[in-house]
Structures are given as structure tokens and as C-alpha cells.
Structure 1
Amino acid sequence: MRTSDERTTVVDRGRFTDATTPWDDAEWRREVLGWAEDVLAGHGRVECGTREVRVRPWSVLVRFRTGAGERDAVWLKAGAPSNAFEAGLSQELAAWVPEHVMTPLAVDPGRGWSLLPDGGPLFRGVLDAGAAGPGEWATALGRYGAMQRRVVPYADRLDGLGVPGARTRELPEVFDALVAGNPLFDAAERTALLRRRPRLVELCAELDAYGLPDSLDHCDLHDGQILAPAPGRFTFFDWGDACVGHPFGSLLVPVREVRERYGPEHVAPMVDAYLEHWTGLGHSAAELRRAAALAVRLGALGRAGSWFRLFPGTPTGDSEEASAYWVRELFAAADAW
């Protein structure tokens, strides 16, 4: 039988050739690939063809082929220590909301490893092909809102899984750490940002006053993080940037995508489709829209923090630039879309 090291493997490092990842450690490769091979064998999967490896500063992704079709692929994901919670989170989500996520073939929560079946085409590909548009985005966000609402009772268990916290009341401290820790902010800009901190506190207090429950925020819900296996069906995946916080913060990325791709007139219907799943908590439609506008603005801090979940030793220059951008966006944004 051919061993892991004898298989033809193609490695894609993208533009991150200086990333420090465990993929370059032969012993780690043998261990993680051996684990995946054992799981495949246990599921009766026979590997064939070339292995495709995607190495990034935050994860290593390996595609195993177990047949001739696209849906015969199996995906191994190994996250950086700071997002290793994704493995255990994926397992729990499959138990809590199985119709909205992929069910792993296996996970090793302690090592941050997951083995996942193929989930179908990306929503991005469906959009690019012209087979879907803003109406389908609204449907997808409605499904996502329904999923978040069902995860609300598990918010405290998310903490126990190691999912980072970014609850509304915690955001001023998150902001302080991001401003203090980013070397791209010189003394003048750091002072200017901190001078605006009282406005951040006001926004947090206003959002918190609505009393909406915390849930899981994906923090990067773009069209490449959603699968579209069939018309009207959507699967949400890639939870390595997630946090526990205000659920409406998840709207930040899709609101921007829809506005830029289809025009601002399509944003409100999409947001309303999402908010439909948050009625019944004693809030008017206007109050929910206001809460969404606040959460979208404050969601910039979740995005700013997620950029530092990297393998140790990886240069952080790109992350510092991305994080600084989102911190600045916090005060550049208007109060509504």
C-alpha cells in the first residue's frame, strides 16, 4: 500500500510563502494524514488521485479524492491554535443545527482537526454563474438567522468550547486591546482613536439596552463561506473567525457584499429577511432594524480581532493592516446603511 509520503501532493501556499505552519514538519504531516487515512478507511472511503493542500497562516486544508466526482472529495482541516476551537464547534453545531451545517466525518477537538465531506458548490459560484442574486442572498440570510436563533440556548457552552467572546459589553475592552497592540497606529492616531472611545461606549450601551440574546457570530459570512447544495438550500461553514457576541454582527460582511455587487436598494430587504427570525422578543420592526445597524457597525471589532488567529511564528504584517482597517471603519461608518 502506498504511504502518505508517496502520494502525489500539490501544495498551494498562495501569497503566504513566509507563513510558518506545521505542514513543513514531516512528523506532524505523518500524524495528521495518518489520522485522516484511518478515518477514511473506517468510513469505507478509498483514496485515489492527487492530494491538494492549501496552506495559509491560519489553517492547513487537504483535499482527498475518493472517487471521480466532485462530491467524492473529503476535506481535512487543521486550524491554528487560536482557532482550533473550530473542530469542536463544528461537531456541536452538527448536533444542534444539523440542517444548517456540515456533519464532520470525525473531529479531534484537542488538536483542532476536522475531516469533512464535500458539501456541494459554493454560493459564490452560483452567484457568479448568474443562477442566483440578491433574492437568494435574502433567503440565505434568513436561513442563517434561523440557525443563530436556535443556537442562543447554547451561548454559554460556546464559551466552554473556546470560541472567543466579543459580547457587546466587552467591546470597549476589545477596542482598547486592538488599539494598544497594533504597531501601525502611531501615537497621534492612537490618541485620536481613544478620544472617540466614549462614542463606542454609547453605541454599546444603546445596543445592549435592546436586550437581544447573544449567539454565534460567524464574523466573516461572505459568499465563499456558504454552500448552495440545491436551490433554496444553504450550508454555513468555516467557523475559524467566529465569536460569541451579538448575533446581528454577522450582517456586516453580507451587507457590504450585497451593497457593492447589487446596489444599496437590495440591502434592506435582505436585512428584513434576516430579522424576521428575531421577532417575538418584544421588539418592533424599527427597533430590530436599529439594533441591526448598531451591531453591523460594532461588528468591525470582531473582524479586527479575528485577523490574529495565526500559526505561531507567522509574520503579522498583513494581519496588522487588516485589523487596523476594521478598527478605523468603526468610526468611519454611518449609524445606518
Structure 2
Amino acid sequence: MTTTAGERAPDWSREQWQVRARSWVDAQLSRAGLRVTGPVQPRVRPWSLVWRVPTDGGPVWFKANNPGTVHEAVLIAALAGLAPERVLAPIAVDPARGWSLLPDGGESLRDVLGRDPDLAHWERALPGYAALQLASAPRADELIALGVPDHRPEVLAGLLAQLLDDRESLRIGDEDGLSPETYERLRAELPAYAERCRRLADIGIPATVQHDDLHDGNVFAGPDGYRYFDWGDASVAHPFGTLLVTLRSIRYATELAADDARLARLRDGYLEAWTDRYDRRTLVEAAGLAMNLGAVSRSLSWRRALDTADPARAEYADAVPGWLAELFEPTPL
């Protein structure tokens, strides 16, 4: 790895850490007038630990991020101030430690689609996410200053060059890594990739927060509307990069062809928020570029998430080279 965050990552299994975290949770709940009523239910991944905490006011959720995704805590607090109707307002955050405490968001869009797989649910969910991005765009520099990763088109080519120097993460020659041929092809692709980055930047659509993992499991669908959560993969980037994961997840869930007109309709419904400033042909071009370039963003977000000493990271290590190889896949739509 090229960074040393994994060496600094906390051992979430240590009793001392758990006592300290539980003390923080209890103190924050007490300030909110809540009391824990039962044992916490943990879920651990290499990039985060999540506790479901039962309280006398309903369940709440504690999340601790590893150093590679630590920016999530400060980001959700910032988004709650910028677009409070689009995210859950945290009960408390500790930005330095990457801790957050959130109320329960109710059922997810995945739950809703499980009962009613109508794409109209996505047609209603995507404009709200676009509105959140537009509300956040004027604060993009501030979000970067707070520690949100910078994946704007102006810097992506440089980030790709740095990533290609991280041969350990790319697992070159390993069964689940990049083949030497694909690696050399990526090296040769750098100038063309940089040119596509310049074209996307020149279109002029402002960078903003980009979730980078927006699928139906990361959207709450409650009576108060759609709210977007799980921001550990997020960056400040071209907004349309979101479509790479979102449209792909919808396509896989519905078994639609990549060029299905229903996916194009979802894309266009999302892009509608920018039509007061750009013509649709330009927006469609920008979306195609952003989705293509976004494979690098996904690879980078996975590298950050897996920058940990946790042995469980090996289960996911193929995601870093796997997403990078997606750069050569045709962009849908």
C-alpha cells in the first residue's frame, strides 16, 4: 500500500476501544434524552464497524470508520446543514475519530422495490439526490478542506497515475489482480484518459459531493421522502459519476440490457436538474464521460476502504484492480 492508514486503524475488537466507544454513545444519547435498553448488535467490515443500538426512543446506529473512510462523519454533518431534507440529521459526530450516531431511517428503497419493483421509485428518488448535489456544489472547496477526497476531473488523471504506481494494491499478475497486459494497457491509456478529463472539466458543470455507491440499499424511502446515506465512498467529483454505480445496480437488479430505454429515462430524469443551465445533448455527453472516468474513482475509494491491517480485507482486495479494469468496458447508454 502507498499509505499507512492501516497501521493507525483502531482494533475494534479490543475491550478498551469498545468501552470508550460505548461511553461516547451513552453520553450522546443522554444529551438527546435517550437511554439504551438492550445489547448492541454489531456488524463489522474492514472499512467500518456499525452498532445497532436499541433505545427507549427506537433504534439508533453508531458507526466507526477506518482511517480511509474517516471523512464520512464530517461529511454527513455538513450535508445535514446543506440539505437537511435529503439526509438523516446525526445525533452526534466525532470527526476526528470518524464516529457518527444516527437515528433509524426506516425502510430502504431496496425494501420497497422488493415489494414493488417499479422503476418509478427510482424516478422519484434520483431528482432528490440531484437536488442535494446542487445544494452542495457551492461548498465543494470547503468539503475538500474538511477531508472529503478530491476526485474532480482536473485531478483524476494524476490520481490514476499515482494508482498505477501502487502495484501492491493492483496485485499485478495475481489471479485476482490486473494482468501484466492490462496494466501496460492502462499505462498507455493515461494520455487519452487525461484528455477525457480535460473535456469533462471544460464542459463546466460544477463539482460537488458524489456518493459513488448510490444503490437501492443506500437510500431510505420513508414518509418524509428519500434520504441518502452511507457516504464512506463519497468524494468531491463531477456529479454525474454517480450514474456509473446507480445505473449498473439498477440494471443488474432488473436484468435490463445496458442500452434499455428505461435506463436512459432514469438518466435523463436525474439530469433534468441541470437543464436550466446546459442543453440536454451536453448533459448526456458529460454523463457518458463521467461514467467512464468514474471507474478510477471507484478503484480509489476501494483502496481507501481497504487501507487497513484487518485480514478480512483480502476478501475484497480484487475490487481495486477490478474497477480499474472497468475503464476499458463500454459505457452504457
**TM-score between the two structures when normalised by the length of structure 1:** 0.88
The partner residue of 1:305 within 300, 308, 333 is 300
- Residue 24 to residue 44, structure 1, CA distance change in 2 (3 Å): same
Structure 2 partner of 1:210: 203
Structure 1 partner of 2:319: 322
The partner residue of 1:26 within 9, 12, 15 is 15
Alignment-mate amino acid for residue 321 of structure 2: A
User: Within 2, Cα distance between the matches of 1:261 and 1:254?
Assistant: 11
How far did 1:301 drift?
1.1
Equivalent pair of 1:21/1:57 in contact (CA under 8 Å):
no
How far did 1:121 drift?
0.5
Alignment-mate amino acid for residue 64 of structure 1: V
- Aligned runs of 1:134-149 on 2, under 5 Å? 134-149=119-134
How far did 1:50 drift?
2.9
Structure 2 partner of 1:272: 268
User: Within 2, Cα distance between the matches of 1:322 and 1:84?
Assistant: 20
Equivalent pair of 2:182/2:325 in contact (CA under 8 Å):
no
How far did 1:311 drift?
5.8
User: Within 2, Cα distance between the matches of 1:24 and 1:65?
Assistant: 20
The partner residue of 1:235 within 216, 222, 227 is 227
**TM-score between the two structures when normalised by the length of structure 2:** 0.89
How far did 1:40 drift?
1.1
User: Within 1, Cα distance between the matches of 2:244 and 2:251?
Assistant: 11
1:162 aligns with 2:151: no
Q: Root-mean-square deviation (CA), in Å?
A: 1.7
Equivalent pair of 1:22/1:29 in contact (CA under 8 Å):
no
1:66 aligns with 2:29: no
Q: Cα deviations across residues 67-95 of structure 1 (Å, max 9, x unaligned)? A: 4xxx8101000100121111111111111
Alignment-mate amino acid for residue 167 of structure 1: R
Alignment-mate amino acid for residue 31 of structure 1: R
User: Within 2, Cα distance between the matches of 1:77 and 1:99?
Assistant: 21
User: Within 2, Cα distance between the matches of 1:244 and 1:280?
Assistant: 22
The partner residue of 2:160 within 175, 178, 198 is 175
Equivalent pair of 2:178/2:322 in contact (CA under 8 Å):
no
1:226 aligns with 2:219: yes
Structure 1 unmatched ranges of 5 or more: 1-19
Structure 2 partner of 1:289: 284
Q: What is the DSSP-based 3-state SS (H/G/I as helix, E as strand, rest coil) of the residue aligned with 2:233?
A: coil
Structure 1 partner of 2:3: none
User: Within 1, Cα distance between the matches of 2:184 and 2:253?
Assistant: 36
Structure 1 partner of 2:252: 260
User: Within 2, Cα distance between the matches of 1:244 and 1:297?
Assistant: 17
Q: Which moved more, 1:265-274 or 1:53-62?
A: 265-274
User: Within 1, Cα distance between the matches of 2:41 and 2:165?
Assistant: 39
How far did 1:21 drift?
5.5
User: Within 2, Cα distance between the matches of 1:286 and 1:257?
Assistant: 24
Equivalent pair of 2:26/2:35 in contact (CA under 8 Å):
no
Alignment-mate amino acid for residue 296 of structure 2: L
Equivalent pair of 1:258/1:266 in contact (CA under 8 Å):
no
The partner residue of 1:247 within 229, 239, 245 is 239
How far did 1:210 drift?
0.6
Equivalent pair of 1:78/1:114 in contact (CA under 8 Å):
yes
Structure 1 partner of 2:80: 94
User: Within 1, Cα distance between the matches of 2:307 and 2:66?
Assistant: 5
Structure 2 partner of 1:14: none
- Aligned runs of 1:39-50 on 2, under 5 Å? 39-50=28-39
